[in-house]
Amino acid sequence: MQKTFLMVKPDGVQRQLIGEIVSRFERKGLHLAGAKLMTISPELAQQHYGEHKGKPFFEGLVEFITSGPVFAMVWQGENVIEISRQMMGKTNPKDALPGTIRGDYGVIVGKNIIHGSDSPESAEREINLFFNQEELVEYNKSMNEWIY
Ligand code: GTP
Ligand code: MG
């Protein structure tokens, strides 16, 4: 089953949105494979957002993502990468539709509540950056036969 890396950013944690966000993915029928509250080091932030190095917002992005704890998660499910990106909404909350996480809770692009991997390649890279294999839990949920 496909896996993705999702993360409640420091603004989402401070705004007490962890439960709300986890709840949305649970109710959708996605499957939680791992989760932890952690603070990102500047080194990890630079690696995670490496594709944006050199862009004008890069320094601010690294400063923001290391400014407080984040809630890092791995979720799995069929097409979970695409589904979770749809549920997050557009990068800039001003363009994100109501009903999406960024559309419902964010206002500016620099504080957009949640991160999600954007392709199978980034998902694999980001899961390995943030989680050890033993932190990912494999288990069956009987509810799955009502989802698939
Ligand atoms: P992530 O899930 O956080 O990776 O967002 P994304 O995939 O929707 O967008 P992208 O990877 O292009 O950008 C990464 C993050 O950089 C965004 O979530 C924003 O917080 C920030 N960002 C992107 N573009 C801009 C910009 O033009 N200005 C500012 N200030 N921040 C930006
Ligand atoms: Mg991105």
Where exactly are the structural domains of the chain?
3-138
Amino acid 131: pLDDT: 98
Band (pLDDT 50/70/90 cuts) for residue 4 is: very high
Residue nearest to atom 12 of ligand 1 (CA): 91
In angstroms, what is the span from residue 88 Cα to ligand 2's centroid?
Answer: 11
Q: What percent of the chain has pLDDT over 70?
A: 100
Binding residues: 9, 57, 85, 91, 102, 112
Domain topology for 3-138: Alpha-Beta Plaits (3.30.70)
Nearest to 112 by CA among 35, 6, 23: 6
Reported as a single tens digit per residue, the pLDDT across 30-66 is: 999 999 999 999 999 999 999 999 999 999 999 999 9
Residue nearest to atom 16 of ligand 1 (CA): 61
Amino acid 14: pLDDT: 98
The complex's ipTM works out to: 0.94
- Whole-prediction pTM: 0.96
b vs e for 53-84, b when ≥16 Cβ sit within 10 Å of the residue's Cβ?
eeeeebeebbebbbeebbbbbbbbbeebbebb
Band (pLDDT 50/70/90 cuts) for residue 11 is: very high
Tell me the H-state helices in the chain: 10-14, 18-28, 42-48, 58-65, 80-88, 101-105, 120-130
Amino acid 36: pLDDT: 98
Ligand 1: residues whose CB is within 6 Å? 52, 57, 60-61, 91, 109-110, 112, 115-116, 118
Nearest to 101 by CA among 37, 9, 39: 9
Reported as a single tens digit per residue, the pLDDT across 118-140 is: 999 999 999 999 999 999 999 99
Average of per-residue pLDDT across 78-85: 98
71 three-class SS: strand
Determine contact, residues 40/48, Cβ cutoff 8 Å: yes
Binding residues for ATP: 9, 57, 85, 91, 102, 112
In angstroms, what is the span from residue 109 Cα to ligand 1's centroid?
Answer: 7
